[in-house]
Amino acid sequence: MKTQILVVDDDAGSRNALTTLLRDEGFTVIGLPGGREAMEYLRESPPPKLLVLDLMMPDVDGWDLRHAQKQDPRLAAIPVIAVSAAGKLPDADAQFRKPLDYEQFLVAVRRYVKPA
Amino acid sequence: MELRPADSAVASARDASSRFQEARVVTPALAFGFIAIVLVLVVGVVVALANVGTVYRAAGAVAHTSAVKTQLQALLASLIDAETGERGYIITGNDSYLEPYTRGVAAAATELGRVRQLTADNPEQQIDLDRVAAETRVKLDELAKAIQARREKDFEAGQAVVLTNVGKRTMDGIRAVVARMEAREDALLASRTVAADRAYNTARWTALTIGAVGLVVVAALFVVTRKVGTERKAAVNLAEQLRVTLSSIGDGVIATDAVGRVTQMNLVAERLTGWTEGEARGRRLEEIFVIVNEGTRQPVENPIKRALSERVIVGLANHTVLIARNGPEVPIDDSAAPIQTPDGSVQGAVLVFRDVTARRRTERERSNLIAELQAAVHTRDEFLSIAAHELRNPVNAVQLQLVGILRAFQRGSGGAEEMGSQSFRDRVSQANAQVGRLTRLLDNLLDVSRIRGGSIALELEDVDLKDVVENITSQFLAEARPGQVTVNAPQPAVGRWDRLRLEQVVSNVLSNAIKYGEGRPILISLDHDAHAARLSVQDHGIGIAPEQQERLFARFERGVSQRQYGGFGLGLWITRQLVEAMGGEITVASRAGQGATFSIVLPTSGAAAAERGKST
């Protein structure tokens, strides 16, 4: 099944909980622990419909990933929702602060993706 | 404005100068006094001479009058003698009776000549004297005629001449004129006596007056001289007092003349400049007092210059350094002021300066302290911000797990069957794990204050480090990649340690290795001997640059940016404190990009060793 949402977060607890919840809503979700892994995934797989990005991550962080995405015409149009404990991604389509207000987050997700 | 020592020194110098000025004002009074005495003496002598002349002339006049009168009486006497001789001859016809006649005739001529001389300056007497002379000639002719008649004829012929009464009339005439002349001389004598009296009185009063004036002037002079003496003594005392005061001032003081050449300097100034007063006197101040800016080393304008030219009190710019003659440099603070007399003329300038080394040091210490405090406050603020962010991840995870559980209930499938399902159990256990993580974070925070307060309470027991390592490693399996962590612990390593603290140490070092290990293999090795156990944790991750390694164990520090790697920056600091509390040591060997190896050596005697270490 084609992946709809890519969740990138180095915090395993947050990442696992969020991917499980989104799957429960009927979305196809993949969770990855860092920017480098996400870049590899995006390069090799069909583009998802939505990126959910943590910002503060080791190595390639959320800002780096967003920058790389916008450089790639194939990926540039994918909407991005930033979810972070601190910091802001100025050109994100939506911003959320941890701990996440899940109901609001779901409204934002549904704006870009319909459950499979 | 607060009166600084420099200003008060200037004020007292000014006061002294005005007192010297007063002393100088008295001196003309003294000169005036001497001039007055000389004048009084000169006037006295001149007046006295004049008076003596007047008295002398008056006395001369009295004597002159007496002489005139005596001569007049002598004239009369000589005429009487001549007449007596004539009468004797007429009566006797004897020539021997003519002797008084002959003498009287000769004397009369002489006396007339004398009177004429004596009264030569008096025309009235001269006129009367002419009459007396004429009458004398008539009288002497009559006497000669009578004598001739007796000689040539007889007694009766001589008597007849006498009886003509010409002789008597003439004699009466002479007597009357002589009486008038005498009266005139008497009148002259009277007036001359009055003049002499007046001259005497004048002389007496003048003498008294001049004497009195002289006494007053001398008295005034005495008073003035005394005053001058007192003032001069006071001025000398003041000068001495000023000199002592100057040398006792705790600041350096240098006085210059109006063109900026040194006139005086005190002991402190000598010490700070390296010049003695004797060497410095007469030299230009710039030579003695060499100042530069502390930072730029550029010469600083000498404040005396402006004080002299603009007549204002000049303070020195900050951060001025005085370079002494023999080289040493002293940071100083100073001010210069013109020395002005009350009439406003500038006699010189006074420079006051002090060694501010101690103050500079205090300022530096204070600014360092402030910087440290600011850094501490900044660190605390940053830490609070980091702590708030750090707590967000586990709270976020717990919240999302709870949302999942709640939604399961909302879907109506929260029954016993659902609760028994694997996914439900996973959610609860993951939420629980996150709560455990939160607890560890909070424990770390608590440990910071405990360790800072010096109250790590160790519960020592026999602990096998091999057990602890294996136990903690198994807890981290979920966070690490499968097969990422290898443990090489062939034998048990037992020591007197605190089990929970030991778990905290291993857990911190291992979580660090996983966090920064970039997923590459991690090797945990354990070995021991009779005295100590050695644990090393080696990763192949990002590594730590040498310059970062010491900071690594400091509080709130990490080897990488907070943006990329979260965490309080407390783990290694706490680990080090705990290891040291148990008498051990933790070190790191690493290079940037080439992984890191943390080595921990723990004495098997644990805290006892630590105690021993402290007591030595």
* DSSP per-residue codes, A32-96: ESSHHHHHHHHHHS---SEEEE-S--SSS-HHHHHHHHHH-TTTTTS-EEEEESS---TT-SEEE
Q: What are phi and psi of B549, to 5 degrees?
A: -65, -35
Residues in B touching A14 (Cβ below 8 Å): 393, 396-397, 400
Task: Say whether B564 and A17 touch across the interface (CB within 8 A).
Answer: no
Task: Say whether A98 and B403 touch across the interface (CB within 8 A).
Answer: no
pLDDT at B1 over 60: no
Q: What is the pLDDT of residue B2?
A: 39
Q: How far apart are CA B252 and CA B231, in angstroms?
A: 30
B405 sits in which H/E element = helix B357-408
Residues in A touching B394 (Cβ below 8 Å): 13
Task: Say whether B404 and A17 touch across the interface (CB within 8 A).
Answer: yes
Reported as a single tens digit per residue, the pLDDT across A59-73 is: 788 999 999 999 999
Residues in B touching A11 (Cβ below 8 Å): 393, 396-397, 566
Distance from the A67 Cα atom to the nearest Cα atom in chain B, whole angstroms: 16
Residues B340/B311, Cβ–Cβ less than 8 Å: yes
Task: Say whether A20 and B434 touch across the interface (CB within 8 A).
Answer: no
pLDDT at A92 over 80: yes
For the ranges B28-42, B104-118, B228-242, the lowest mean pLDDT is seen at B28-42
Q: What percent of chain B has pLDDT over 90?
A: 18
Residue B500 tokens read as: 């929970």
β-partners of residue B585 are: B601
Q: What percent of chain B has pLDDT over 70?
A: 89
A116 touching chain B per CB within 8 A: no
Distance from the A18 Cα atom to the nearest Cα atom in chain B, whole angstroms: 6
Given A18, A56, A99, which is nearest B563 (Cβ)? Answer: A56
Task: Say whether A17 and B397 touch across the interface (CB within 8 A).
Answer: yes
Q: Which residue of A has its CA nearest to B404?
A: A21
The more confidently predicted of residues B154 and B457 is B154
For the ranges A28-42, B277-291, B382-396, the lowest mean pLDDT is seen at B382-396
Query: Per-residue b/e over A94-112, b at no fewer than 16 CB within 10 Å?
Result: bbbbbbbebeebbebbeeb
Q: What is the pLDDT of residue B603?
A: 93
Residues in B touching A86 (Cβ below 8 Å): 385, 389, 392
Q: Which residue is listed with tokens 């105690």?
A: B611
Q: How far apart are CA B537 and CA B509, in angstroms?
A: 7
Q: What is the pLDDT of residue A74?
A: 93
A109 touching chain B per CB within 8 A: no
Task: Say whether B400 and A17 touch across the interface (CB within 8 A).
Answer: yes
Given B396, B433, B562, which is nearest A98 (Cβ)? Answer: B396
Given A14, A56, A97, which is nearest B564 (Cβ)? Answer: A56
Residues A52/A32, Cβ–Cβ less than 8 Å: no
Residues B268/B324, Cβ–Cβ less than 8 Å: no
Please, which residues 496-515 of chain B have a Cβ atom closer than 8 Å to chain A? 515
Distance from the B561 Cα atom to the nearest Cα atom in chain A, whole angstroms: 9
Q: What is the pLDDT of residue B275?
A: 92
A102 touching chain B per CB within 8 A: yes
Over range A50-66, report the average pLDDT: 90
B390 touching chain A per CB within 8 A: yes
Distance from the A78 Cα atom to the nearest Cα atom in chain B, whole angstroms: 24
Reported as a single tens digit per residue, the pLDDT across B305-347 is: 888 888 888 886 678 889 888 888 888 888 888 888 888 888 8
A60 touching chain B per CB within 8 A: no
Residue B157 tokens read as: 């012929």
Q: How far apart are CA B317 and CA B322, in angstroms?
A: 12
Reported as a single tens digit per residue, the pLDDT across B463-514 is: 999 999 999 998 888 778 888 899 999 999 999 999 988 998 999 899 889 8
Task: Say whether B400 and A12 touch across the interface (CB within 8 A).
Answer: no
Residues in B touching A58 (Cβ below 8 Å): 515-516, 518, 542, 560, 564-565
Distance from the A60 Cα atom to the nearest Cα atom in chain B, whole angstroms: 8
| Cis peptide preceding B482, ω within 30 of 0 | no
B153 touching chain A per CB within 8 A: no
Where do runs of H (alpha helix) occur along B153-282? 155-163, 166-248, 267-273, 277-280
Distance from the B395 Cα atom to the nearest Cα atom in chain A, whole angstroms: 6
Q: Which residue of B has its CA nearest to A9?
A: B393
Q: With a cut of 0.90, is the ipTM above it?
A: yes
Reported as a single tens digit per residue, the pLDDT across B380-422 is: 787 777 777 778 888 999 999 999 888 888 876 555 666 678 8
B382 touching chain A per CB within 8 A: no
